[in-house]
């Protein structure tokens, strides 16, 4: 009995001695590496990602439903504006049109005859007006049927290169179906975005440098043709469009856009992965009096792995560059090291 009691006391003593250590481990503050924010010389070339866009692009849809009786889709071939791409079966409409034309001839003769009779008081005015209204009604019917027939013909809306054929002759199509696409490739557009703080750098007529994401590393010049007046409410970026002449790029391709922002400047640069995006602003975590503080920041030039901080961070601030995901507002942070 004495041995059992002694053994139990030893176990309780061991558990009691380990409890403070466990609590100590659970209460240990999170660790992180920090960087001291200092201005550094930055090349004042603003780099942006862009997308190649065709000068004109249209998916060719039929305006009427029906069976395709004629199909002319020369894939990858240049066609002129107005070239007939497809025809939809219009036999019933042609029959209605022919019928209306016959009725028109009869109505014209009737109107002419009644007009002469009216001149000699052979009929009353109401009879002539009825014949005239009938004539105008038939003319309206002819115009209506002709408009429906015109909708059965699919034409190239502009001169350009035809894409891949997506239907076959004899297929039944509706206005929701795509027959093919056509693109104007003699001039291409480059769409890219820039932070609104660089809005003064992009104006109609300005020249930017384009680098294709291909083996051909030769850089080309593109001319800005328009800037979206309103900045994106989420990213606060401006959308810019430039034109590129004589290039082998394909619409949809990725390009790098370089905008000359003038002389080199000194700016605070931080690793891009320290930014915490939210609905309205980007944030970074700084260490102040040993505690984590979340501050809103505005960004500028973006480089391969760094981003310029234009507002929100001051020289000498300690910025968390690791352990950001584990930081909580006003939580104590243990610094492991200070990175350059």
- Average pLDDT score over the chain: 87
pLDDT tens, residue by residue, 204-254 = 999 999 998 766 667 899 999 999 999 988 888 999 999 998 778 889 999
Number of domains within the chain: 3
Q: Which residues make beta-bridge pairs with 259? A: 46
Which 8-state DSSP code applies to residue 332?
Answer: B
Q: What CATH code is carried by the domain that includes residue 136?
A: 1.10.287.470
Residue 194 lies in a domain: yes
- Of 48 and 83, more confident: 83
CA distance 179 to 65: 12
Last residue of a domain, one of 207, 235, 260: 260
Question: What is the extent of the structural domain holding 111?
Answer: 90-151
Q: Looking at the structure, do residues 319 and 252 belong to the same domain, yes or no?
A: no
Q: Looking at the structure, do residues 288 and 248 belong to the same domain, yes or no?
A: no
Q: What CATH code is carried by the domain that includes residue 316?
A: 2.40.420.20
Q: Looking at the structure, do residues 233 and 269 belong to the same domain, yes or no?
A: no
pLDDT tens, residue by residue, 147-202 = 999 999 999 999 999 999 999 999 999 999 999 999 999 889 999 999 887 888 88
Return the pLDDT at 82.
96
Q: With contact defined as beta carbons under 8 Å apart, do 143 and 64 qualify?
A: no
Q: With contact defined as beta carbons under 8 Å apart, do 83 and 204 qualify?
A: no
> Against a cut of 0.85, is the pTM above it?
no
Q: Looking at the structure, do residues 137 and 286 belong to the same domain, yes or no?
A: no
CA distance 226 to 220: 19
pLDDT tens, residue by residue, 33-62 = 999 999 887 777 888 899 999 999 999 999
Q: With contact defined as beta carbons under 8 Å apart, do 16 and 239 qualify?
A: no
Q: Looking at the structure, do residues 193 and 209 belong to the same domain, yes or no?
A: yes
Residue 147 lies in a domain: yes
CA distance 182 to 72: 13
Take residue 209 and report the two structure tokens written for it: 């440098």
Beta-sheet pairing, 153-155 with 66-71: unpaired
């Amino acid at each position: 009995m004495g041995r059992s009691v002694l053994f139990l006391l030893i176990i309780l003593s061991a558990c009691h001695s380990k409890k403070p250590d466990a609590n100590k481990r659970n209460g240990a503050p999170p660790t992180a590496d920090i960087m001291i924010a200092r201005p550094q010389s930055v090349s004042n070339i603003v780099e942006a990602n862009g997308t190649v866009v065709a000068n004109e692009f249209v998916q060719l849809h039929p305006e009427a439903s029906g069976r395709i009786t004629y199909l002319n889709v020369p894939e990858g071939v240049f066609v002129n504006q107005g070239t007939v791409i497809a025809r939809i079966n219009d036999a019933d409409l042609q029959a209605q049109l022919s019928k209306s034309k016959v009725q028109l001839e009869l109505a014209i003769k009737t109107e002419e005859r009644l007009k002469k009779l009216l001149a000699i008081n052979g009929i009353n005015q109401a009879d002539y007006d009825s014949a005239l209204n009938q004539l105008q009604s038939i003319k309206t019917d002819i115009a209506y049927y002709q408009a429906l027939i015109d909708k059965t013909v699919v034409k190239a809306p502009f001169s350009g290169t035809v894409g891949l054929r997506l239907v076959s002759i004899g297929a039944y199509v509706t206005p929701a179906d795509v027959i093919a696409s056509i693109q104007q490739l003699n001039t291409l557009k480059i769409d890219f975005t820039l932070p609104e703080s660089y809005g003064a750098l992009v104006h109609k007529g300005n020249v930017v440098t384009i680098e294709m994401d291909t083996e051909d590393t030769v850089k080309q010049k593109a001319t800005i043709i328009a800037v979206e007046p309103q900045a994106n409410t989420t990213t606060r970026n401006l959308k810019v469009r430039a034109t590129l002449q004589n290039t082998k790029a394909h619409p949809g391709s990725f390009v790098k856009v370089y905008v000359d922002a003038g002389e080199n400047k000194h700016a605070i640069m931080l690793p891009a992965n320290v930014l915490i995006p939210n609905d309205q602003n980007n944030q970074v975590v700084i260490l102040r009096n040993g505690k984590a503080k979340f501050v809103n920041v505005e960004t500028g030039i973006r480089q391969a792995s760094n981003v310029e901080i234009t507002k929100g961070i001051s020289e000498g601030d300690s910025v968390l560059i690791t352990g950001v995901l584990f930081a909580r507002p006003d939580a104590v942070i243990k610094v492991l090291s200070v990175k350059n």
